[in-house]
Amino acid sequence: MHLSKLSGDLSTARSDSRYCSHTTMKTGKNQRVTLFVQCLVDGIYPEVAEAVVQVFKGLGLKVACPTDQTCCGQPAYNTGYHKAATVAARRFIEIFESAAVIVCPSGSCVDMVRHHYPALFAGDPSWHRRAEAVSRKIFEFSEYLVDVLGVTDLGSTFRGRVTYHDSCHLSRRLGVVRQPRVLIDGVVGAELVEMAESNRCCGFGGTFSVKYPDISGAILADKVDRILETGADAVVGCDISCLMNIAGMLSRRNSPVAALHIAQLLAYR
Amino acid sequence: MARVQTELFNQGAADALKDPVLQRALAGFQQRLGPATAASYTGLPEGPGLRQQAKAVRMEGLRHLDDLLERLADLIRERGGHVFFAEDSAAAASYCRKVARRHNVKRVVKGKSMVSEEIDLDAVLEADGVEVVETDLGQYIVQLAGEPPSHIIAPAIHKTRHEVGRLFAEKLGIAYTDDPPTLTQAARKALREKFLSADMGISGCNLACAETGHITTVSNEGNIRMATTLPRVHVALMGMERIIPRLADHDMLFRLLARGAAAQHMAGYVSYIGGPRQPAQGDGPDEFHLVIIDNGRSRILADTEFREILCCIRCAACLNVCPVYGKIGGYPYGFPYSGPVGAVVTPLLTGISRGKHLFMGDPLCGACKDACPVDIDIPRMLLALRRRLADGDPAWDVSRKYSVDKLAFDLWSYWIRHRGLYEAGLRLGAAGQKRLAGTEGVIESLPRPLDGWTRHRNLSPLTGKSFIRRWREHYGRSGTETEQR
Amino acid sequence: MRNDRQKSFLLKVRQALGKPAEGGSSPSLFDGPLDDPEARLARYRERTPRQRQALLEELKARAGAVAMGVSVVGDAAAAGTVIRDLVLQTVPEWGSRKRVVAWDHPLLDEIGLAELLANDGVPVTITRLDENRDAASERRRLRREVESAYIGITSADFVVAHTATMVLRSRPGHLRSVSLVPSIHVCVADANRLVADLGELYARLQYTPEEKKQGLTNCLTFISAPSKTGDIELVMVDGAHGPRQVQLVLISP
């Protein structure tokens, strides 16, 4: 488990069609995927986005990544500041509406765009139309791989036991529960050990984790206990925000258990 | 009205987290109730979609609430019952006191009623010299301990069996035991005497039926049947929203209520009460009074964004899955309604600004919505409350003041509009964190206002070069790989 | 005064709903049932013996899951035997004297409880008000009898298989306290009162003429389990305030 292995020159990301030899591609090889890189990935965990790119290139897809993107607006929206959130949403729509398909390695950002954008523009018909259009073509990473591309085996290898954390917005609001597990099953050598209450909140909740640190920390402590009970070498998730939260306590407890975004797991060879 | 202490949420939460007895009592109860309830919905013959149907019935009832209440009152009066419409807590409590005085009531036995907690009825009657005995076992326990309930249907969930044992030894004079059946039997014996000698019984109302003109009471213990059958006078309290149009609607609602509350198929006892003892009958109260209470509900009803919370049937399923409730219990919510439903309804009943921590102090995980037997979208309303707080709303007496948060998000919305500035901010942060990073390259201590994060966890530092910047350097400003230079 | 109060209360509700000040009733709300009651009633009428048997099995299984006893017997005499066995096998919870109280009900008359238990020295009180005496003192007398009995015997208007629910109306002679105050509740009902589920129950209550005429009465009670509580650490304990034992006896000729 050397995360550093994943970082580095993007041009080394392989383009190799053998990774999808056992799967049926529902879309053409020339499909271009436009990446929305969640702010935490962009600023703290760039290796996750690199892994996403590596996986897509391995599938022979073309990847675009608009370089003026910033944030989907979720922090403002969840705190009640709709005006600020609307600014972010308009900007997001302007940047991404020309894309054929948008993929984001974060369930909660996809939930924001897919479900909250249309609500945000409920009183503005023309923006509402544009929001609806964008909401239909954004996909969470694992959802896109399994549901859209029909990929389950990426030729990945990982030696060890992993456990999977169902992040709240991904599992409850996007209904993505099966897809990541299918992908983990396809990783050679990875043994999936389910933790108890895998869909219980990790206590992150955005600003909640900073403003109500003790409640958040207590919820997180339970989550980390459930993870450690499995004896897994790594906890895998689809939302870096949860993983950052979980990794923060694992690190505080000096635990060797790694917190991996699913893209990182799939990028292991 | 019950004392409102919603502003003390953080202090209450801190105390709760430090209380080892509470933590022991709370540990495990959600694991036992939460998953079982979810499984019980799946086991419904109609499937879990029945929850949406039930919500539609509740919403329909709310749209016709005026007519439903009028019909209910008419039919109950036809059977000789009395109906009192109370606009607020004080009117409801003083009506009950008047009835008690008129009948020279010395002892009242009560079935658990959340609305009676809301209007703080026990205190009003006790101030009048009436002995008020709570008869739901959990409620009896907290009454003996001099505490309010901490859960909507399991009022003493915060107490361990050892605490109950010590309490009963002290208050009931029995030998100490921590055996729940023995403790239950002790309460059964003590309360039987109270039931048989009480002058007045007080109950709540689960879901009244407008079509037939009955209130309903639901319990597993049988205490509500005792309180509504044996004393001379029965007073029922009902939040005005607790009514459905048709009898047939109770089919799904009672099955869902039992599942939400305790993963049961059906509650042990359901009673339809539509009036006092009829002339030739051998038992039942001589007088029946129904008190229908507004106390702020009409304001909720008028706000279509929040009306949905009035669908609640007080089963507490949301408390049984909420990660926050699971850690802090019911007291920090500062009002009888706790947990996710309390986080919405309490600020609406008692003040949004004052109760802001109830809806801000929540990770928005959404477990409550999935657990709700009538599919109430609590997370949506938590967000709506946050918006009212941020924007201000005169209809809810929320002032439009300029807060630090507002300033922060105004700046934020400028920052995220300019990628260059955004990038500069990231670089500034990366430079600034150098003195924060610990030996392992992780940040173990952040300055205010971010210090909350590092109280319980570390933080990975910002990258020196953001992903987007790397991408741009590689593929150019358009970010499209085919345009690679 | 009361009307003013009600008026202003409901006016506030109407305003909240954006309705005009003068409300009309919503009769349409009660016109149409949610689904076809005829279909539910037909289901009941056309039930084959095999389907009825299946319902009985379902009832037993559900009752068993909540620690409620179910006996299916062929006639009133056999029901009497079940009751007598229960009397012989159980002891009073409060006091030492075995006393039984029972509804004034034709099905129980047929069993002849008083004669049945006379040899065992167990007195049976039938909850019938003596019309020749003062009603209030009669009610007090019956109340004392109910309080001192350890077994209460009732019938049921309906029994619901899916939820193991006994449905009891309040009538003269059918005291609510008989199924509540004694430690053991025995309910004797004719198997033809068995319905499949709550939906069918409500359809029968509302759409068969003889049931509709009676209505729900001033107190309709559903009993689906012995009294129980989980209020101490969620440990389930039978016998919270009501009967700690419930026995349903269905007579199915």
Q: Residue A166 corresponds to which amino acid?
A: D
Residue type, A129: R
B391 touches chain A (CB under 8 A): yes
Q: In Å, what is the CA distance from A233 to each residue of A257, A259, B431? A: 5, 9, 33
Partner chains of B (3+ C-beta pairs under 8 Å):
A, C
Number of neighbours of residue B56 by Cβ within 10 angstroms: 14
Environment class of residue A81 by beta-carbon count within 10 Å: exposed (0-12), middle (13-18) or buried (19+)? buried
The neighbour count for residue B436, using CB atoms within 10 Å, is 15
C237 DSSP assignment: E
Q: Which among B31, B33, B416, B483 is the top mutation candidate for probing chain A, defined by the most A β-carbons within 10 Å of its own β-carbon?
A: B416
Q: What is the pTM of this model?
A: 0.94
B465–chain A nearest CA distance, Å: 8
pLDDT band at C35 (very low <50, low <70, confident <90, very high): low
As a whole number, the mean pLDDT across chain B is: 95
What is the token pair recorded at C93?
């919870």
Give the nearest partner residue to B251 out of C174, C198, C232, using CB atoms: C198
**Strand-pair partners of C189:** C250
Orientation angle between helical segments B9-18 and A213-229, nearest 10 degrees: 40
Nearest CA in chain B to C197: B251
Q: State the Cα torsion B263-B178-B149-B6 to the nearest 10°.
A: -110
Share of chain B above pLDDT 90, in %: 88
Contact B251/C94, CB-based, under 8 Å?
no
CA distances from B289 to B40, B204, B314 (A): 36, 11, 22
For the stretch B239-257, what's the b/e string if a residue is b when 16 or more beta carbons lie within 10 angstroms of its beta carbon? bbbbbbbbbbbbbbbbbbb
Interface test with C, best of B37, B256, B298, B305 (most C CBs within 10 A): B298
Between chain B and chain C, the number of residue pairs with CB atoms below 8 A apart is 261
Tokens describing residue A144:
């896109």
B387-412: pLDDT as tens digits: 999 999 999 999 987 788 899 999 99
CB of B4 closer than 8 Å to CB of B354: yes
Q: Tell me, what's the pLDDT at B480?
A: 77
Number of H helices, E strands in chain B: 23, 10
Q: Are C102 and C113 in contact (CB under 8 A)?
A: yes
> What are φ and ψ of residue B266, in 5° steps?
-160, 140
Question: For B226, which of C12, C180, C237 is closest by C-beta distance?
Answer: C180
**Burial (CB count <10 Å: 0-12, 13-18, 19+), residue A7:** middle
Bond preceding residue B245 cis, omega within 30 of 0: no
Interface test with A, best of B471, B472, B480, B484 (most A CBs within 10 A): B471
What's the mean pLDDT when you consider all of chain C? 92
Nearest to B450 among A66, A87, A210 (CB): A210
Number of C-alpha atoms within 13 angstroms, CB side, residue B306? 28
The answer to whether the Cβ–Cβ distance between C232 and B73 falls below 8 Å is: no
Which of B304, B320, B328, B413 would you mutate first to test chain A, the one with the most A CBs within 10 A?
B413
Name the nearest CA neighbour of C183 among C81, C251, C99, C117: C99
A194 — contact with chain B (CB < 8 Å)?
no
Provide DSSP, C29-75. HHHS-SS-HHHHHHHHHT--HHHHHHHHHHHHHHHHHTT-EEEEESS
State the best of A98, A216, A225 to mutate against chain B, taking most chain B CBs within 10 Å. A216
> Can you give the pLDDT at residue A60?
94
Instruction: Enumerate residues 149 to 168 of chain A having a beta carbon within 8 A of any beta carbon in chain B.
Output: 168
What does the DSSP assignment read for B456-477?
H--BPPPPSS-HHHHHHHHH-T
Cβ atoms of B273 and B217 closer than 8 Å:
yes
Q: How far is CA B376 from CA A17, B312, B380, C21, in A?
A: 47, 7, 9, 29
Residue-level pLDDT at A9: 40
Cβ(C242)–Cβ(B221) below 8 Å: yes
Q: Mean pLDDT, to the nearest integer, of B464-475?
A: 94
Contacts of B298 in chain C (CB under 8 A): 12-13, 15-16
pLDDT score for A14: 36
User: Are B188 and C240 in contact, with CB atoms under 8 Å apart?
Assistant: yes
* pLDDT, tens digit only, all 269 positions of chain A: 333 333 334 433 333 333 333 333 445 556 899 999 999 999 999 999 999 999 999 999 999 999 999 999 999 999 999 999 999 999 999 999 999 999 999 999 999 999 999 999 999 999 999 999 999 999 999 999 999 999 999 999 999 999 999 999 999 999 999 999 999 999 999 999 999 999 999 999 999 999 999 999 999 999 999 999 999 999 999 999 999 999 999 999 999 999 999 999 999 98
Stretch (H or E) spanning B290: strand B287-293
Round to whole Å and give the CA distance between B165 and B188. 15
Rounded-to-integer distance, Cα B317 and Cα B373, Å: 8
**pLDDT the model gives residue A194:** 98
Q: Is the dihedral of CA B194, B195, B196, B199 positive or negative?
A: positive
Position A104 scores a pLDDT of: 98
Chain C residues with beta carbon closer than 8 angstroms to that of B87: 5, 8-9, 12
Q: Which residues of B touch A251 (CB under 8 A)?
A: 440, 442, 457-458
* Cα of C32 to nearest chain B Cα, Å: 9
Cα B100 to Cα B485: distance, rounded to the nearest angstrom: 88
pLDDT at C30 over 80: no
Judging contacts by C-beta atoms under 8 Å, the chain A residues touching residue B472 are 67
Burial class (CB in 10 A: 0-12, 13-18, 19+), B444: middle
In three state form, how does the secondary structure of chain A look?
A: CCHHHHCCCHHHCCCCHHHHCCCCCCCCCCCEEEECCCHHHHHCCHHHHHHHHHHHHHCCCEEECCCCCCCCCHHHHHHCCHHHHHHHHHHHHHHHCCCCCEEECCHHHHHHHHHHHHHHCCCCHHHHHHHHHHHHCEEEHHHHHHHHCCCCCCCCEEEEEEEECCCHHHHHHCCCCHHHHHHHHCCEEEEECCCCCCCCCCCCCCCHHHHCHHHHHHHHHHHHHHHHHCCCCEEEECCHHHHHHHHHHHHHCCCCCEEEEHHHHHHCC
And the tokens for C38? Answer: 């005829």
At B434, the pLDDT band (50, 70, 90 cuts) reads confident
- Are A220 and A202 contacting, i.e. CB atoms less than 8 angstroms apart? yes
Distance from CA of B135 to the nearest CA of C (A): 9
Chain A closest-CA separation from residue B472 CA (Å)? 6
Q: Counting beta carbons within 10 angstroms of the beta carbon of residue C146, is it exposed (0 to 12), middle (13 to 18) or buried (19 or more)?
A: buried
pLDDT at C44: 75
pLDDT of residue A22: 34
- What is the rounded CA–CA span in Å between residue A159 and residue A190? 6
Residue C3 confidence (pLDDT): 80
Q: Cα–Cα distance between B226 and B177 in angstroms, integer? A: 27
Closest by Cβ to A43, choosing from B385, B452, B463? B463
User: Using CA atoms, how far apart are residues B321 and C47, in angstroms rounded to an integer?
Assistant: 42
Question: Phi-psi bin for A155: left (phi > 0), alpha (psi -120 to 50), beta?
Answer: left
Nearest by CB: A46 against B367, B463, B482: B463
3-state secondary structure at position C99:
coil
Nearest by CB to C30, from B63, B83, B245: name it: B245
Q: Taking Cα atoms as reference points, which of A195, A193, A199 lies closest to residue A167?
A: A199
Q: Does B383 touch chain A (CB under 8 A)?
A: yes
**Could you give the 3-state DSSP secondary structure of residue B387?**
helix
B72 at the C interface (CB within 8 A)? Answer: no
Output the CA torsion A140→A146→A148→A151 (10° steps): 130
Identify which of A185, C114, C26, A41 has the alpha carbon closest to the alpha carbon of residue B60.
C26
CA distances from C134 to B287, C137, C140, C141, C178 (A): 19, 6, 10, 11, 21
Q: Specify the 3-state DSSP secondary structure of C166.
A: strand
* Residue B284 at interface with chain C, using a CB cutoff of 8 Å: yes
H/E run at residue B180 = helix B180-197
Question: A133 CB near a chain B CB, below 8 Å?
Answer: no
Please list the residues that pair with A157 across neighbouring strands.
A188
Count of alpha carbons within 13 angstroms of residue B232, beta-carbon side:
13
Tell me how far apart the alpha carbons of residues A243 and A235 are, in angstroms, rounded to a whole number: 8
Return the DSSP state at B263.
S
Q: Which residues are paired to A34 by β-bridges?
A: A64, A102
pLDDT digits over C106-132, tens only? 999 999 999 999 999 999 999 999 999
CA distance A42 to C139: 80
**Alpha-carbon distance values, C148 to A240, B223, C92, C95 (Å):** 67, 18, 9, 8
Query: Residue B14 pLDDT > 60, yes or no?
Result: yes
Residues 28-67, chain B, touching A (beta carbon < 8 A): 31, 35
- Asked if residue A147 lies in contact with residue B346, where contact means CB atoms within 8 angstroms, the answer is no
pLDDT one-digit tens code per residue, C229-241: 999 999 999 999 9
pLDDT band at C143 (very low <50, low <70, confident <90, very high): very high
Say yes or no for a CB contact (<8 Å) between A87 and B417: yes
Per-residue pLDDT of B356-386, as tens digits, reads 999 999 999 999 999 999 999 999 999 999 9
